[in-house]
Chain A
Amino acid sequence: AQSVAQPEDQVNVAEGNPLTVKCTYSVSGNPYLFWYVQYPNRGLQFLLKYITGDNLVKGSYGFEAEFNKSQTSFHLKKPSALVSDSALYFCAVRDQYRGSQGNLIFGKGTKLSVKP
């Protein structure tokens, strides 16, 4: 069965410092990986995705993620955190069921807190 793990419930960083939110996955076959962010009382916003190609994927709002096949990881990173980045971050893997777009398997989420 496919799964996603986000080992940290919360990550605290100071504004201006680099941030990393960790994600590991388990899939059969090639993974399709996604990062989403959720602000309070809002739906999820798409940040970036990895399908194939370069291991470093750039996304919205200055975020990027590094795909590491040997470590089965897809960590989210940002060189300089902003207070406005404080939110709940979800890593997800797309179900390999062919012919379906919809089944994203999400991690439990990591709460990012950026302090001034």
Chain B
Amino acid sequence: KAGVTQTPRYLIKTRGQQVTLSCSPISGHRSVSWYQQTPGQGLQFLFEYFSETQRNKGNFPGRFSGRQFSNSRSEMNVSTLELGDSALYLCASSLGGAGDAPYEQYFGPGTRLTVT
């Protein structure tokens, strides 16, 4: 089975611009989560999507948004980029489900975003 893929792998943007990152989950996985990883703050949860609906959201400003398509692929968008948005953005997929069973998440390699 192919793993989680993320595109692009590297991105350089200027302050004020916006960016869209893409994530393709493992086939059959319906839950997609996004995380931001920085040296200072570590790994922080952004949001989770399941069946095209945002199911949970972390403590990030509204400039960070996402969506999920019917094939479970997901995109996240960051508008009005700030220097502090420079980070590794990781996508993770899991079988998910409506219940509470804690499925493990499988992570993609990440997109390294640099804001100048």
Residues on A lying within 8 angstroms of B by beta carbon are 32, 34, 36, 41-46, 49, 51, 90, 94-95, 97-109
Q: What does DSSP make chain A's interface, helix, strand, loop or mixed?
A: loop
CB B47 to nearest CB in A, in angstroms, measures: 7
Interface residues of B (CB under 8 A from A): 4, 31-33, 35, 42-45, 47-48, 50, 55-56, 58, 90, 92, 94, 96-98, 100-110
Contacts between the two chains (Cβ within 8 Å), count: 79
Structural contact, A43 and B4, CB atoms closer than 8 A: yes
Residues of chain A contacted by B105 (CB below 8 angstroms)? 46, 101-102, 104
Give min CB distance, A59 to chain B, whole Å.
10
Chain B residues near A51 (CB, 8 Å)?
Answer: 101-102
Cβ A103 vs Cβ B98 within 8 A: no
- What are 13 sample pairs from A and B whose C-beta atoms fall under 8 A apart? A41-B109, A42-B109, A45-B107, A51-B101, A51-B102, A95-B56, A100-B48, A101-B94, A101-B96, A102-B45, A102-B47, A104-B45, A104-B105
